[in-house]
Amino acid sequence: MREYGPPNSPPPKTKPKKPKVSYIIDCIHQYTYVWLKNGKTFWFYPTRIEQGEVSGYRWEGKKWIFYGLGENSISQVACYPVPTLY
């Protein structure tokens, strides 16, 4: 985990299954797969959540780019590795 900037490596090759319940706050500084309410999906590395806005780095196929979005536009998220409930 890095405190500043994007990760040093690409996201995992395997996309996680969409969870029934998820919270972006649980995924800070982790590889995160995002499902938006508009149907789009992408890998994201969130670094900050503040006042309903989420910012971090979005994977664009070959590199991470800085990206921000409204927390209310997110349908579900899955952090990698996906935690298991015991």
Counting the structural domains of the chain, the total is 1
Q: Is residue 8 part of a domain?
A: no
Q: Is residue 86 part of a domain?
A: no
Taking CA atoms, 69 is separated from 4, 14, 53, in Å, by 18, 24, 6
Q: Is residue 14 part of a domain?
A: no
pTM: 0.87
Assign residue 56 the CATH number of its domain: 2.30.30.100
All residue ranges of the chain with pLDDT < 70 are 1-3, 80-86
Structural domain that includes position 41: 24-80
The confidence score (pLDDT) of residue 2 equals 55
Interacting residues of 47 by C-beta distance below 8 A, sequence separation 6+: 4, 28, 29, 55, 56, 57
Q: Is residue 3 part of a domain?
A: no
The confidence score (pLDDT) of residue 5 equals 87
Taking the C-alpha atoms of residue 2 and residue 76, their distance in angstroms, rounded to an integer, is 24
